[in-house]
Structure 1
């Protein structure tokens, strides 16, 4: 019997301002997914930097989606710097990481998919948040 294609799975990395609402995060996520022909069912997990581990909006979004929420240290995210499409001095000043959304997306994809990841949607921004999507090597197969 032929092998069935792997389900399409993407992973979201998020950066946000303090107190960013679940509605603002959810709206940005839905806009990005829709723009790329994806649905919430495509998501395998979300992540951010440890500095955001107490943000209620991130926890509410993960609960709403029913998927894992992981947090990574600035040092862990720094390992992905060479793969970023955008490096922000402002983000580095505040977090010690040049790109929270893209780095977190790559980190969560590699941790949960156990395969090398690539950005499939580079950083997108709203007034209060940033989001990027990464996929493992099984993306689209």
Structure 2
């Protein structure tokens, strides 16, 4: 799987993962996502609020031993001007123009930059910021 990035990412640099989950996402999708992410020092997993009890999120949190930060659609929408791949379709369904990229950027805090654009893995979308 090829990440959409032009940057070299140090394995010791803390990064912030944003994840979007569709209803079609499977355990196999999450296993592939975790394999994709294993080379980084993940500080936080982040997503849209309401996904805290999703079994795939819980699997990732247990495996990675990292905290989860959630954001409202309004908070994620404030990140729209920084997104590489804003989506009107996501806006129609979720009230924000992106979940994975926006959550990663919001979790990384002021001055955070998108290191890996949203990357589809089955029913999951992941992005990485630092």
Task: Provide the residue aligned with 1:128 in structure 2.
Answer: 123
In 2, Cα distance between equivalents of 1:89 and 1:53? 24
Greater fraction of residues in helix: 1
In 2, Cα distance between equivalents of 1:66 and 1:19? 25
In 2, Cα distance between equivalents of 1:64 and 1:22? 13
Which of these residues, 26, 35, 42, is aligned with residue 30 of structure 1? 35
In 1, Cα distance between equivalents of 2:84 and 2:126? 13
In structure 2, list runs of 5 or more residues that go unmatched: 1-11
How does the TM-score come out when normalised to structure 2? 0.83
**How many residues are matched?**
119
**Pair 1:39 & 2:44 matched:** no
Do the aligned residues in 1 keep the contact of 2:21 with 2:124 (CA within 8 Å)? yes
What pairs up with 1:47-86 in 2 under 5 angstroms? 47-86=46-85
Task: Provide the residue aligned with 1:139 in structure 2.
Answer: none
**Farther-moved stretch of structure 1 (83-92 vs 20-29):** 20-29
Larger Rg: 1
In structure 1, list runs of 5 or more residues that go unmatched: 1-6, 136-141
Task: Provide the residue aligned with 1:107 in structure 2.
Answer: 106
Moved over 2 A (4+): 18-23, 28-31, 51-54
- By how many angstroms is 1:9 displaced? 0.8
In 2, Cα distance between equivalents of 1:92 and 1:120? 23
